[in-house]
């Protein structure tokens, strides 16, 4: 058993490692001399024996075999398939330690990547959850076949191999009943699950959504066919299982050989083609295709902090770049003079306009297109004058250079940046704060408990 780096490591060798850090995906990191190891399912403070799986010049990957000494922050994972599923990389870490880890991660990225001296920044305590389970309002379960039987669960990390189970502890409790109803239905009427290799079979995925404020439930069955035989019987079963909370049952047709879950056509079998939910006092209609934050409890806290940082008095013009279905825009509109939202996805803007109408919010306007092009065009055409606040909530890759250049040209008084990736946040802030802006406040929000991902919100003010 090797404990140093005196010779090359071979696949299958056993190594003893002290875990001293976490990687970007929540895996434990340790060293044997100058050689760095990434070992999944370990936590800082563990001493472990691991099996070498793959090596590079100065680092390698190993699989946990034995925990020689447990970290004081190690707890027993609540999910029985936590290791094989790999969806929740921090299941074995005490929650208070998880919150500290995420706070440090964001701050370290701002220091290391952004080059910020945080002594002049107001840093608030991370906003955690009271109970970090059962928070996901949306789950998508793949279906497949194993030993001649239909199965469901989640794909193991970086694979399309299904880890079979029926109850994800970060998902809603109703998931279990829905999956049972669908599997029983498939068995009774001899409806096979989809097989990726052959392209045959019918049921590909089941998507389940819940409105946490309303209790409304949606079930969408993704199929590799034009119709689902005996679908009326499945609807009956789901209604019996879920009662009056069930507001929508649909099939989504996806016959393409693709990793994309949803196809273009959705047919409603029962109820509405949407469910409704609230963030604060703003109501949203959510379809199977709608983007909607998966943790509504924390989303309210996140958006409330973004609203606080925007410091609106009722006289401001606000632009919400990457507005999606208008979640932040409508949240801000109640305190702003006028809010403009921009999103490149046409269907999302249609949802945003519907949601504004649903809430009788009239001081908003939504545009389809690239945010930087729309804002620049409206500004240069004289349709808008002063821009007081810009709010951005970009995808994980962050802002592109054109978006940053546009903000630096328009020079709003404040920029509120909501981020799901603190490394790209730090990169973008470095450019924005190079000359024109000053980073003033930061709050981290635990939006994805038991995983390494997190959300943060910052505000910059013009110098």
DSSP-derived 3-state class of residue 406? helix
Alpha carbon distances (Å) from 86 to 83, 140, 208, 291:
5, 15, 20, 24
Domains (ranges, CATH) in the chain? Answer: 13-69 (2.40.50.140), 100-130+294-462 (3.40.50.150), 138-279 (2.40.50.1070)
| pTM of the predicted protein model | 0.92
DSSP-derived 3-state class of residue 108? helix
What totals of helices (H) and strands (E) does the chain contain, helices first?
10, 22
Per residue, the 3-state secondary structure of 187-236, as one string, reads: HHCCCCECCCCCCCCCEEEEEEEECCCCCCEEEEEEECCCCCCCHHHHHH
- The verdict on whether residue 322 carries a ligand-binding annotation is yes
> Do residues 49 and 16 make contact, with C-beta atoms less than 8 angstroms apart?
yes
CA–CA gap between residue 122 and residue 437 (Å, rounded) = 15
- The verdict on whether residue 400 carries a ligand-binding annotation is no
> Do residues 84 and 431 make contact, with C-beta atoms less than 8 angstroms apart?
no
CA–CA gap between residue 31 and residue 431 (Å, rounded) = 34
Contacts of 211 (CB under 8 A, 6+ apart): 137, 217, 275, 276, 277, 278, 286
Q: What tokens appear for 93 in the block? A: 């870490």
Q: How far is the first Cα of the chain from the last one, in angstroms, to the nearest whole number?
A: 58
Q: In the beta sheet, which residues pair with residue 7?
A: none
> Do residues 459 and 441 make contact, with C-beta atoms less than 8 angstroms apart?
yes
CA–CA gap between residue 334 and residue 312 (Å, rounded) = 10
pLDDT per residue of the chain (463 residues) written in tens, 0 to 9: 555 444 589 999 999 999 999 988 889 999 998 899 999 999 999 999 999 999 999 999 999 999 999 999 999 999 999 888 878 889 999 999 999 999 999 999 999 999 999 999 999 999 999 999 999 999 999 999 999 999 999 998 778 899 999 899 999 999 999 999 999 999 999 999 999 999 999 999 999 999 999 999 999 999 999 999 999 999 999 999 999 999 999 999 999 999 999 999 999 999 999 999 999 999 999 999 988 999 999 999 999 999 999 999 999 999 999 999 999 999 999 999 999 999 999 989 999 999 999 999 999 999 999 988 998 888 888 887 789 999 999 999 999 999 999 999 999 999 999 999 999 999 999 999 999 999 999 999 999 999 999 999 999 999 9
**Strand bridging mode 59-69 / 35-39:** parallel
DSSP-derived 3-state class of residue 370? coil
Write out the DSSP string of 38-80.
EETT--TT-EEEEEEEEE-SSEEEEEEEEEEE--TTB---SST
Burial of 258 (0-12, 13-18, 19+ CB in 10 A): exposed
Give kind and range of the element (H or E) at residue 32.
strand 28-32
Residue 224, Cβ neighbours under 10 Å: how many?
Answer: 20
Active site members: 420
pLDDT of residue 384: 78
Q: What tokens appear for 7 in the block? A: 């010779």
pLDDT of residue 7: 53
- The verdict on whether residue 393 carries a ligand-binding annotation is yes
pLDDT of residue 6: 43
Q: How does 393-404 read in b/e, with b if 16+ C-beta sit within 10 Å?
A: bbeeebbeeebb
> Do residues 89 and 452 make contact, with C-beta atoms less than 8 angstroms apart?
yes
- The verdict on whether residue 293 carries a ligand-binding annotation is yes
> Do residues 169 and 133 make contact, with C-beta atoms less than 8 angstroms apart?
yes
Q: How does 134-153 read in b/e, with b if 16+ C-beta sit within 10 Å?
A: bbbbbbebbbbeeeeebbbb
CA–CA gap between residue 350 and residue 309 (Å, rounded) = 28
Residue 23, Cβ neighbours under 10 Å: how many?
Answer: 14
317-321: strand order across its sheet: 122-123, 437-445, 455-462, 414-419, 389-392, 317-321, 338-343, 364-368
pLDDT of residue 160: 86
CA–CA gap between residue 246 and residue 78 (Å, rounded) = 28
Which ranges of 210-326 does DSSP label H, i.e. alpha helix?
231-242, 296-310
């Amino acid at each position: 058993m090797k404990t140093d780096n005196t010779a090359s490591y071979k696949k299958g060798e056993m190594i003893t490692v002290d875990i001293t850090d976490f990687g970007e995906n929540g895996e434990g990191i340790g060293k044997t001399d100058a050689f760095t190891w990434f070992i999944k399912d370990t936590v800082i403070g563990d001493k472990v024996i691991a099996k070498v799986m793959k090596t590079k010049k100065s680092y390698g990957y190993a699989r946990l075999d034995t925990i020689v000494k447990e970290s004081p922050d190690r707890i027993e994972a609540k999910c029985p398939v936590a290791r094989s599923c790999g969806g929740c990389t921090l299941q074995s870490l005490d929650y208070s330690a998880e919150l500290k880890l995420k706070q440090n991660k964001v701050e370290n990225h701002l220091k290391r990547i952004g080059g910020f001296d945080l002594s002049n920044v107001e840093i608030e305590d991370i906003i955690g959850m009271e109970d970090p389970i059962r928070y996901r309002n949306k789950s998508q379960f793949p279906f497949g076949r194993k030993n001649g039987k239909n199965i469901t669960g989640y794909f193991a990390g970086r694979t399309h191999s299904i880890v079979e189970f029926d109850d994800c502890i970060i998902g809603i409790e109703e998931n279990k009943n829905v999956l049972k109803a669908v599997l029983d239905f498939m068995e009774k009427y001899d409806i096979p699950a989809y097989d990726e290799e052959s392209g045959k079979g019918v049921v590909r995925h089941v998507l389940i959504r819940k409105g946490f404020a309303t209790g409304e439930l949606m079930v969408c069955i993704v199929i590799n066919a034009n119709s689902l035989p005996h679908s009326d019987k499945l609807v009956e079963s789901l209604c019996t299982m879920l009662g009056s909370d069930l507001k929508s049952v649909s099939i989504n047709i996806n016959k393409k050989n693709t990793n994309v879950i949803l196809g273009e056509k959705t047919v409603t079998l029962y109820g509405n083609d949407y469910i409704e939910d609230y963030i604060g006092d703003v109501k949203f209609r959510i379809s199977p295709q709608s983007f909607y934050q998966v943790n509504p409890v924390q989303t309210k806290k996140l958006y409330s902090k973004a609203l606080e940082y925007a410091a609106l008095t009722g006289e401001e013009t606000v632009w919400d770049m990457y507005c999606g279905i208008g979640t932040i825009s409508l949240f801000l509109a109640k305190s702003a003079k006028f809010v403009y939202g921009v999103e490149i996805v046409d269907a999302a803007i249609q949802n945003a306009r519907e949601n504004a109408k649903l809430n009788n919010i009239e001081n908003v306007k939504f545009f389809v297109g690239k945010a930087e092009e729309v804002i620049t065009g409206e500004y240069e055409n004289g349709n808008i004058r002063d821009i007081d606040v810009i709010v951005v909530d970009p995808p994980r890759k962050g802002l592109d250079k054109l978006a940053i250049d546009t903000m630096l040209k328009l020079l709003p008084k404040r920029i509120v940046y909501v981020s799901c990736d603190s490394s790209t946040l730090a990169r973008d802030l470095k450019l924005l704060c190079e000359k024109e802006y000053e980073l003033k406040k930061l709050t981290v929000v635990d939006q994805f408990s038991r995983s390494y991902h997190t959300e943060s919100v910052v505000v910059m003010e013009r110098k």
